[in-house]
Amino acid sequence: MRRISLLVLFTLVALPLPAQPPAKPPLKITPGQVIVPTDRMRRIWGELIAIDPKTRTGSFRNESNDDVLTFTIMPYAELLHHASNGDVQDFRVGERAIFRLHENEEGKWVWLTYIQDEMNMLNGHKEYYYVDAIDPASGTITFTQANFDKTFIRDKGLVMKTDKATRFWKAGQPVTFADIKIGDKLRAKTHGLGKGKDRVGWEVFLDDESLLKFREEQTAVHARRMAEEGLPGYVDSVEGSTIQLTLFGETSDAAKALKVKKIVRLAPAGVDRRPTSPPITATLIELKTAGKTQKATLTLDSAAVGFTSKGLARVWAK
């Protein structure tokens, strides 16, 4: 019996191991494609130093070590402003936000695929600034950052300063510093002071209603912008009179205005995502959701002048 057991054991040991599936290559930023390499990224809290709408470039200060980092915004980047979609012109110099960076071809961390403002982070993670102490004389608030029931505490002993420019909100209406009480749970939009993690409130929300009012206003701004400036996307291919596009994630709501078999307008766009020539008309043949993006196929009514594969375009519901 023992010999049989040993024979079985040796047979099992001798059997070849099953072939392992080849490892998937890591995702990389690729021009003309909507790719976010979440397996290799850096998300850094920082203070915005500069942002240029024409080149869609900028810089920020890493508040953990005061290093200044530059970035180039990918055309499809999520620019989350007031807990909603936004664009480069919405952000103010000095604003605190999370900057998500990826490596370029040279290994430098410069490609940016989102700016997540403070309001979006707090709202999305259901976190608050719980007031531990108040100093009316200096206008400072000491707080703990935690989730809605304090089962997760992110940080303690944090300080937010306020000044004459700080606005306070409750029930969607202006209030004052004196309305804040120990134990209150706040949310805020703050700016840095050029060094460290010190922050000063621009907008301080004493309740969810007030933050959500700002969010609704920003959502309306973005909807108008999409209607006026067109839905941005990449040109996937141009073959004769047929053009295929990938519309970016920020267009998901606005794309509902696009209807198959209906006439639309579209134009090629430049680095700043602005049209580079007058729009032409086309018929929308197909529209499919693909993750956060929309895939559109159109038949052009005239020559595809200015449209290039991997280039940018804007689309309007006629």
Name the β-bridge partners of 60. Answer: 48, 69
pLDDT confidence of 6, banded at 50, 70, 90?
Answer: very low
* Domain 29-229 CATH (choose: 3.90.950.10, 3.20.20.150, 2.40.50.320, 2.30.110.10): 2.40.50.320
- What is the mean pLDDT of the segment spanning 212-229? 97
Work out the average pLDDT over 169-198. Answer: 96
Full-model pTM:
0.90
pLDDT at 23: 65
pLDDT beyond 80 at 88: yes
Half-sphere exposure of 176 (CA within 13 A, CB side): 2
**Does the 230-317 domain belong in CATH 1.10.579.10?**
no
Render the chain in DSSP notation, one character per residue.
-HHHHHHHHHHHHHSPPPPPPPPPPPP---TTS----TTS-EEEEEEEEEEETTTTEEEEEETTT--EEEEEEEEEEEEEETTEE--GGGPPTTBEEEEEEEE-TTS-EEEEEEEEEHHHHHHHHTEEEEEEEEETTTTEEEEEEEETTSSSEEEEEEEEE--TT-EEEETTEEE-GGG--TT-EEEEEEEE-SSTT-EEEEEEESSHHHHHHHHHHHHHHHHHHHHHH-EEEEEEEEETTEEEEEE-GGGTTGGGG--TTSEEEEEEE-TTS-BSS--EEEEEEEEEEETTEEEEEEEESS--TT--TT-EEEEEE-
Q: Domain limits of the chain?
A: 29-229, 230-317
d(Cα 254, Cα 314) in Å, to the nearest integer?
Answer: 12
Q: What are phi and psi of 180, to 5 degrees?
A: -85, 135
Please report the pLDDT score of residue 17 as a whole number.
Answer: 57
> How does residue 31 score in pLDDT terms, banded at 50, 70 and 90?
confident
| Residue 304 binned pLDDT confidence (cut-offs 50, 70, 90) | confident
pLDDT exceeds cutoff 70 at 3? no
pLDDT confidence of residue 19? 63
Of 247, 306, 252, 299, the C-alpha closest to 279 is 306
Q: How confident is the model at residue 9 (pLDDT cuts 50, 70, 90)?
A: very low
Average pLDDT, the chain: 93
Question: Residue 74, Cβ neighbours under 10 Å: how many?
Answer: 19
To the nearest whole percent, how much of the chain has pLDDT over 70?
A: 93
Per-residue pLDDT, 25: 74
Instruction: Report residue 171 as tokens.
Output: 């029930």
Q: Quote the pLDDT of residue 206.
A: 98
**Predicted local confidence at residue 215, as pLDDT:** 98
pLDDT digits (tens, 9 = 90+) for 90-137: 999 999 999 999 999 999 999 999 999 999 999 999 999 999 999 999
Q: pLDDT tens digits, residue range 129-150?
A: 999 999 999 999 999 999 999 9
The pLDDT, as a whole number, for residue 33 is: 96
155 against 24, higher pLDDT: 155
> Which residues touch 207 (CB under 8 Å, ≥6 apart)?
169, 170, 171
Would strands 153-161 and 167-170 be described as parallel, antiparallel, or unpaired? unpaired
Dihedral Cα 249, 252, 257, 258, nearest 10 deg? 50
35-49 pLDDT per residue, tens: 999 999 999 999 999
Question: What HEC string does 212-263 produce?
Answer: HHHHHHHHHHHHHHHHHHCEEEEEEEEECCEEEEEECHHHCCHHHHCCCCCE
Q: Which tops the pLDDT comparison, 245 or 303? A: 245
Question: Which residues, in sequence order, are CB contacts of 267 under 8 Å at separation 6+?
Answer: 230, 275, 276, 277, 278, 279, 280, 306, 313, 314
What pLDDT was estimated at residue 105? 92
Q: Over range 226-233, report the average pLDDT.
A: 97
Of 125, 79, 69, residue with least CA distance to 102? 69
* Mean pLDDT across 295-316: 95
* Dihedral sign from CA coordinates of 35, 87, 63, 98: negative
